[in-house]
Amino acid sequence: MTPVISVHPVILPAPERGDDLRVRVSAPATADTHPVVILSHGFGGSASGYAPLVDAWTEAGFAVLQPTHLDSRALALPQDDPRQPDIWRIRIDDVTRVLDNLDALEALIPGRFDRDRIAVAGHSYGAQTVSALLGARVIGFDGVPERDPRITAGVLLALTGTGLGDLSPFAAEHFPFMSPSFAELTAPALLVAGDKDQSLLSTRGPDWFTDGFHLSPSPKDLLTLPGGEHSLGGITGYGVTETTDEDPERVALVRRASTAYLRKAFGLGDADWDDVRREAGIESK
């Protein structure tokens, strides 16, 4: 097993943000050139989460960059902070800031970043965040960045669905930005959804989390996890208390599928992806 180096916190200056951006950099401790995955956490998470995925991706030779967004419990931003309504936008800017500072982050590891092989990944709120850089829009809001041409592909874990008529009254009042349009989500992406993921934010059932697949242009792939709830078996961390559907086999499948997908998207081989797609019944278009 290849040793991994992890540096945290790395501080990226962000004066207009109100707080500098903290980033975790994890990469194999080798002098190789590493594909890059930027991982955006879910609501309340931080750069310290998602160890099951980070471990799998660094073992595969990828560098993983994890920003801590302003909604993180680690920052404890007060609810009356004037930035609260704009955190969804600031999250997108956070990922762009990481992309803009690859030189500084690369200097912290023994190897180099492969700038021709960059992917974004996110869970829940994080999936919505990175989907904007893959081409998704937010209905009723201007100024969402266009698809970022530096990004090769995405992994969207428990991506929330459409908002028009589908949000619960609470979500419609407090999270009006949860109204995505997937018509321009043109970048290749793997979506992962649980068939028992019943969200209090939607009036629909677990199929809400498959909208990003069904309503976006190809190429897209969809892995639906039988019995999976919002943590998809526990991808947010080893033994974390918020997991309601703990299942190591389910997590192992997400690790395997996402790693194989990223290898395929990066042009590093299709064999593993072909096997897991067939065995797990992954839908493709």
Residues 6+ apart with CB under 8 A from 154: 119, 120, 121, 122, 130, 131, 133, 134, 187, 188, 189, 190
* Cβ neighbours, 10 Å, residue 169: 8
**Percentage of the chain modeled with pLDDT above 90:** 94
Q: What is the pLDDT of residues 79-118, one digit of tens each?
A: 999 999 999 999 999 999 999 999 999 999 999 999 999 9
Q: Looking at the predicted structure, is the pLDDT value of residue 236 above 80?
A: yes
Q: What is the pLDDT of residues 166-186, one digit of tens each?
A: 999 999 999 999 999 999 999
Q: What is the pLDDT of residues 4-25, one digit of tens each?
A: 999 999 999 999 999 999 999 9
Which residue's entry shows tokens 């874990």? 157
Confidence label for 164 from pLDDT (cuts 50, 70 and 90): confident
Task: Indicate the burial class of 168 (C-beta count within 10 angstroms; 0-12, 13-18, 19 or more).
Answer: middle
Confidence label for 163 from pLDDT (cuts 50, 70 and 90): confident
Tokens of residue 29, six digits: 């401790």
pLDDT at 165: 87
What is Dmax (Cα atoms) for the chain? 52
pLDDT at 31: 92
Q: Looking at the predicted structure, is the pLDDT value of residue 1 above 80?
A: no
- The predicted model gives 232-253 an average pLDDT of 92
- The predicted model gives 226-251 an average pLDDT of 92
Tokens of residue 133, six digits: 């850089």
192-194-197 Cα angle (round to 5): 130
Q: What does the alpha-carbon distance between residue 8 and residue 21 come to, in Å, rounded to a whole number?
A: 11
Look up residue 116 and give its DSSP letter: E
Mean pLDDT value across the chain: 96
Contact 72, 44 (CB under 8 A): yes
Q: What is the pLDDT of residues 30-79, one digit of tens each?
A: 999 999 999 999 999 999 999 999 999 999 999 999 999 999 999 999 99
pLDDT at 240: 80
Q: Looking at the predicted structure, is the pLDDT value of residue 241 above 80?
A: no
Tokens of residue 171, six digits: 């979500």
pLDDT at 249: 97
What CATH topology corresponds to 4-284?
Rossmann fold (3.40.50)
**Any idea where the domains of the chain sit in the sequence?**
4-284
Contact 246, 225 (CB under 8 A): no
